[in-house]
Structure 1
Amino acid sequence: MRNVGEFEQDKQICMHYEDDRGRFHGAVVPPTFQNTLFTYPTLGELVEAVQSEKHHYVYGRGTNPTVEVVEKKLAALERGEDCKTFSSGMAAISAAIINSVQSGDHILCVSNLYYSTMELLKYLGKFNISHSVVYSTNTEEISQVIQSNTKVIFLESPTDMTYRLIDLAEVSKLAKANGIRTIIDNTWATPLFQKPLTFGIDIVVHSASKYLGGHSDVLGGALITSKKIMETLFKKEYLLMGAAMPPSEASLLLRGIRTLPLRMTAHQENALKVAEFLESHPKVAMVNYPGLRTHPDFELGQKQLTGYSGLMSIELSQADYRQVEKVINKMKAFKIGVSWGSFESLVLSPNLNNNEGKLLKEQISPGTIRLAVGLEDVNVLIRDLEQSLND
């Protein structure tokens, strides 16, 4: 669990790391460099900069001083060597995956993943890149479905919607023994509560639109990895695909990162109280939240998580679409909407159009309701859940 010294170090990174006030005339907040290009006094100096664009400011699609401050903070928080930010979380995921495979390769997905990630993998089939899903978090079962052409193991821990944990050290060891690259979406935990690179994972991706931004006004993504991987990724998947984070978004993201430790602590406090209330409610069959001692992976969480975010799911005792719809529509404090990770509390269900067969295939209960516990008064949230669950 939480190492107090490490958490204090992370707070300093969030608030002050690489702000470089001497460079920016003592400005408390680094300026937003909104310009698209940078000029040089001589042609020779420009040519030199273009040849090493990752380390020089040339054009906004490559590097930018405001964006760079964000990237250095995120790399430090994840204990990674390098970071690039993107215009969306899916842009970061796409770059990570495409950099890791070529035609004829296979991608192994561990358990439940974000819907759009799965859609991307289906799309890559047109380039003869295949994928499969193992609906298990057990390392031994994961090892049994590795193919001779498996080049990537992609995972989320906790898993999407079901919030089971995966042993990152074991999966990393398995992957390295088979020459496989590992990529994790670490959005749920944030770099504050889980540092996958320290367990041997190769690439970490984030949707910065969630907790990192924290105010529902930033669209962005991030990718943190080694300098070796980033060297090729920057020249190809980053520069050529062109999904750079704009400096205006980077400025908002910087603001969000400064309060990340305070917000995540508050999300955790609220979510634990909500989860404990829901666990005792007769209409709720299951609460999927790793912070509960009754969670099947609680002990594993004690080893690799240092805290818990505000995202969880419940499974209703009456597991059907009509009951899910009824409960959600009665909620007032929890607003119905996609995404999560900001100040507001949100509710959604994977059972959007009575797709129970598909959910059962993915080992998700049709009675699943996802709750993103925000920063409102927790008593207000609990009362809202109580009235929505009661007939």
Structure 2
Amino acid sequence: MSAGGDGLDSLLATPHDGAYGEMTPPIYQSSLFGFSSYAEFEDRMAGRSDRPLYSRVQNPTVSAFEQMIARLEGAEAAVGFASGMAAVASTLFALVKPGDRIACITHVYPDSYRLMERMLRPWGVEITYHTPEAFEAEPELLAGARLAYLESPNSMMMEVMDLRAVAGHARRHGVTTVIDSSWATPALLNPVALGIDLVIHSASKYISGHSDTVAGVVAGRADLVARLRDLTLPLLGAKLAPFEAWLLLRGLRTLEARMRQHGRTADLFVDRLAARPEVTRVRSPGANAVPGLRGRSGLMSVEFAENVDIPRFADALKIFRLGVSWGGFESLVVPAAITLRQAGEQNAPQRFGVPPRLVRLSLGLEGAEDLWEDFMQALEVATG
């Protein structure tokens, strides 16, 4: 696997090699940084120096994380945030204004949808929703749009798109492209190399990998990242904290190995589920499903036949847990029927078409055979 032209394993294994030979960047748990002279202080305030000033806008530990993400994505720059939604909101509010239109992927992450519908639309931003097929085959749908907001695969339905083709359509219409690439991580996909302008990660997921951190990050074109740094990072204040950045750096060191394990378990499930009569469809894109995708992550969805009692299935699981989020060491299930009960979701246009018998699986780092045995015993209970 490669990222930004360098081997991903090599990038992740490179030690920090700081002033004292430390392998890991230290935690700079300080809210502010002092200056030794008037001239040094003036240079920083005038933008002639990039020396740390105040941790709401810049912190050395956070900077180390941002630099590594930029390298892994092959991006010009990156900026960290306090959560994935802080990254999404800070990006959209920095790049669109009242009167603009966002062309958004269908079945987008529910809180991204709520941000657009409950905050951006009342603010005067138009949002239109389009399938991956429409983004690929109908370039004119981007005419007049300010921004294309993408996921590949998208939430719950796991539909993928040809990002290179969509990026080409967007460039011809002068549209900025943004993708939430949390599913793939830099280990499996580098959207910047396919022409996408900005890549968002909910770093709480696979990048952290330990279910102990909430964070987000945006990587891509230097001018767009600079706009986020100048506008929404300091003024909305959703900065990434140094301790969380340190945890994320720890998570990145094992990203490649973890993604390989998630992928192997997912491959096992995909192969075996295809032969099960209780399962009508498996949604799990793999390597080369679309250009640039190098493998399969552990997040997938399955659709159960009518004879499966989904609540009984969920309650019978012993290793899998019921819970939101994904990308950690633990395995989780989320029935679509539960997510559709959230306020406003039943009639949400972007949610139309999500089968009520769909269940999302996040395959963790437990033994693959143990997970399969747990899945099968729960399925037996649910069909008995």
What range is the shorter-chain TM-score in? over 0.9
SS of the residue 2:141 aligns to:
coil
Q: Give the corresponding residue for 2:205.
A: 210
Q: Does 1:98 align with 2:93?
A: yes
Q: Does 1:323 align with 2:318?
A: no
- Distance in 2 of aligned mates of 1:103 and 1:88: 25
Q: 1:130 to 1:139 in 2, by over 3 A?
A: closer
Match for 1:162 among 157, 173, 178? 157
8 Å CA contact 1:34–1:247 kept in 2: the answer is yes
- Distance in 2 of aligned mates of 1:142 and 1:338: 34
Q: Give the corresponding residue for 1:310.
A: 298
Q: Give the 5 Å matches for 1:235-384.
A: 235-291=230-286, 299-301=288-290, 303-318=291-306, 323-352=309-338, 358=347, 362-384=352-374
Deviations 1:162-182 (A, max 9, x none): 111111011001111111111
8 Å CA contact 2:136–2:166 kept in 1: the answer is no
Q: Give the corresponding residue for 1:12.
A: 10
Q: Give the corresponding residue for 2:27.
A: 32
Deviations 1:293-333 (A, max 9, x none): xxxxx7543x31111110000001118xx932222122111
Match for 2:135 among 133, 139, 150? 139
Quote the offset at 1:125 in angstroms. 1.4
8 Å CA contact 1:317–1:367 kept in 2: the answer is yes
SS of the residue 1:239 aligns to:
helix
Letter matched to residue 14 of structure 2: H
Q: Give the 5 Å matches for 1:62-211.
A: 62-122=57-117, 123-146=119-142, 148=144, 150-211=145-206
Quote the offset at 1:341 in angstroms. 0.2
Calculate the TM-score normalised by the size of structure 1.
0.91
8 Å CA contact 2:263–2:295 kept in 1: the answer is yes
Letter matched to residue 389 of structure 1: L
Letter matched to residue 16 of structure 1: T
Quote the offset at 1:54 in angstroms. 8.1
Q: 1:268 to 1:81 in 2, by over 3 A?
A: same
8 Å CA contact 1:187–1:210 kept in 2: the answer is yes
Letter matched to residue 283 of structure 2: N
Letter matched to residue 323 of structure 1: D
Please, which runs of 5 or more residues in structure 1 have no aligned partner? 292-297
Query: Identity over aligned residues, as a percent?
Result: 32
8 Å CA contact 1:75–1:81 kept in 2: the answer is yes
Please, which runs of 5 or more residues in structure 2 have no aligned partner? none
Q: 1:89 to 1:256 in 2, by over 3 A?
A: same
8 Å CA contact 2:205–2:326 kept in 1: the answer is yes
- Distance in 1 of aligned mates of 2:303 and 2:49: 47
- Distance in 2 of aligned mates of 1:114 and 1:241: 22
Quote the offset at 1:353 in angstroms. 6.7
SS of the residue 2:281 aligns to:
strand
Q: Does 1:386 align with 2:376?
A: yes
Quote the offset at 1:276 in angstroms. 1.5
SS of the residue 2:225 aligns to:
helix
Letter matched to residue 379 of structure 2: L
Q: 1:354 to 1:307 in 2, by over 3 A?
A: closer
- Distance in 2 of aligned mates of 1:78 and 1:240: 26
